Amino acid sequence: MSLVPTIAQKAAQGLKELYGFTADGNPDLQPTRKEFEGDVTLVVFPYLRASRKKPEDTAQELGEYLQKAVPEIASFNVVKGFLNLAIADGYWIEQIEAIEDLANFGRAPRQDETILVEYSSPNTNKPLHLGHIRNILLGFSVAQILEAAGKTVKKVQIVNDRGIHICKSMLAWQKFGKGETLESSGLKGDHLVGKYYVEFDKAFKKELAELQQKGLTEEEATEQSVLMQEARKMLQKWEANDPETVALWKKMNGWVYEGFAKTYQKLGVDFDQNYYESETYLLGKKVVEEGLAQGVFFQKEDGSVWCDLEDEKLGEKLLLRKDGTSVYMTQDIGTAIQRYEDFGMAGMVYTVGNEQDHHFKVLFAILKKLGYTWAERLYHLSYGMVDLPSGKMKSREGTVVDADDLVQEMESTAQKISEELGKTEGMLEDEKQRLYHQVGLGALKYYILRVDPRKRMLFNPEESVDFQGDTGPFIQYTHARIKSLLRKAKDFDFGGTPKTLHPQERELCKQLVQYPQKVMEAAEQFSPATVASFVYDLVKSYNALYQQVPILADEDPAVVAFRVKLSERVAAVIKNGMALLGIEVPERM
């Protein structure tokens, strides 16, 4: 609320004039609790030593002072040591009418500061699944929120396109594929490659079982496995740039990229730049060698290079093996530096699961030791796993919830429920299909993003598509209802400004003007859940107003005019807020 700084400043003046108290900064004000009358509350207990009066008397005197000093304060009440200030209706009306650029309301002016957001970063041996979806939706939404907060945002990913897991899919295709292609299989490229990752695992387990029956331990059987030896040999060939191996690798990765692109398009997300592990896995080695020469790192007797992070309580971290080869941490150091060289970013958000918490603490600490000032603004957006009612998922065994299948299931569920509730009556077929897509994806995205990223969550597809409660479809339907009302309002002739507001109108006004601040809070906390919670509360308040008063039927045309204007702004904030979550809202349903 833009009036709060003024009230706080006047409160500081009042404390000085009334009691000779000079505050260290202006007093903190907080929203009045819903069970009390008022909009803003000042707690007076910290000032009783200066006033030498009872809490109630101190609050009464400050209330009288502020009511004279701030014309917008209509009244006040005192509850023990709490001074509750009520803002005049006229102020709220002015605030709502001042919102003119509805499409950009809540967006801060663009700053000359670039922030990178990394998300998705999949392996190219399998399709995207539900776990990837939480990652992708979180990263994309945080990028949208940061951009609304005025940052220049670049969305990036690093594709894990090399390693033994890729070779397993390649080897299985060579052995069992019989030349199968996208055209002959009818599968999406990532599904086709994922099929052979599962085939490798099946054949490998069969071979292990046979070797263990001969008395070998699992570890011994793995070492003697012909399949595993062939996969490792294929990796060596790739690293040696063997033409045939590289050609197969490029072909199968090409299939995967084509499949990923279709999934990203369905989800409505994109990237400004892709990085590939095949191009970055050697990055960082030179930096580590330079750091060793400068004394930032140290070398052990066997020749391996380490970073001492004991002062940071992170132990010691290996950076180069004794044979001079790098580890993942080395690559991540090099990739971070490369990104700075590419974008000159002021900071970066890594959207990665919480099992990597320690890894990123170490990465950030090492970059700081190397003297990179931008490392102070690196952030790990750590998130919990997604579970299903049926339990955990395993890629090797082919028991994951595939992203494409899930999106299709969400759209089908949205169609079923929409038709049962009569939401599509009178629509053309292409309008219906677009609605099913909007509602299905809206349900999926909102259900995932409303949860604090740090928490592990259970995803229930049926529950997410409910048109009642804290769900995407409930919010989407409210937006469509408001747009329908606004279409009807075009035929009305009204104008003027009301003198007073209904209590529910005041509540809506208070919420609406807080939207820009909520966007900033979400950006500071890297939390789409903050936006989701705000939009849901706003929608609940609007529906309460819709139930309590006739929007278009009041006798006073000024009242109708304001309620239409208020409805218009609520619809705009719903649309703007849901867009930050990557969710479209339909115009009709």
- Specify the CATH number for 404-580; select among 1.10.10.10, 1.10.730.10, 3.40.50.300, 3.30.365.10: 1.10.730.10
Confidence of residue 381 (pLDDT cuts 50, 70, 90): very high
pLDDT of residue 398: 45
The pTM for the full model equals 0.92
Rounded percentage of the chain residues whose pLDDT exceeds 70: 98
Summarised one tens digit per residue, pLDDT across range 18-59 is 999 987 888 889 989 988 999 999 999 999 999 999 999 999
Q: Are 172 and 182 in contact (CB under 8 A)?
A: no
Q: Over 70: is that where the pLDDT of 244 sits?
A: yes
What sign does the CA torsion over 236, 241, 246, 250 have? positive
Q: Over 90: is that where the pLDDT of 65 sits?
A: yes
Comparing CA positions, the residue from 50, 194, 119 lying closest to residue 449 is 119
Summarised one tens digit per residue, pLDDT across range 181-211 is 999 999 999 999 999 999 999 999 999 999 9
Q: What are phi and psi of 197, to 5 degrees?
A: -65, -40
Query: Between vectors from CA 13 to CA 10 and to CA 15, what angle results, nearest 5°?
Result: 110
Alpha-carbon span 29 to 62, nearest angstrom = 13
When mean pLDDT is compared across 30-34, 140-144, 258-262, 521-525, the lowest value belongs to: 30-34
Q: What is the dihedral of CA 516, 520, 521, 523, to 10 degrees?
A: 140
Summarised one tens digit per residue, pLDDT across range 324-336 is 888 999 999 999 9
What sign does the CA torsion over 282, 288, 290, 292 have? negative
Spell out the CATH class of 4-87.
alpha beta
Residue 557: partners with Cβ closer than 8 Å, 6 or more residues away: 493, 494, 495, 496
Residue 212: partners with Cβ closer than 8 Å, 6 or more residues away: 218, 221
Rounded percentage of the chain residues whose pLDDT exceeds 90: 82
pLDDT of residue 467: 86
pLDDT of residue 1: 56
Residue 236: CB atoms within 10 Å:
11
As a whole number, mean pLDDT of residues 539-552 equals 94
pLDDT of residue 251: 97
User: What are the structural domain ranges in the chain?
Assistant: 4-87, 163-272, 404-580
CA of 559: how far to CAs of 86, 272, 364, 501, 531, in Å?
21, 47, 56, 8, 30
Q: What is the dihedral of CA 225, 231, 233, 237, to 10 degrees?
A: 180
As a whole number, mean pLDDT of residues 292-306 equals 96
Instruction: Name the strand (E) or helix (H) holding 444.
Output: helix 429-449
Alpha-carbon span 96 to 580, nearest angstrom = 22
Instruction: Say if strands 82-87 and 40-43 run parallel, antiparallel, or are unpaired.
Output: antiparallel
pLDDT of residue 399: 52
State whether residue 533 is helix, strand or coil.
helix
Beta bridge partners of residue 129, listed in sequence order: 402
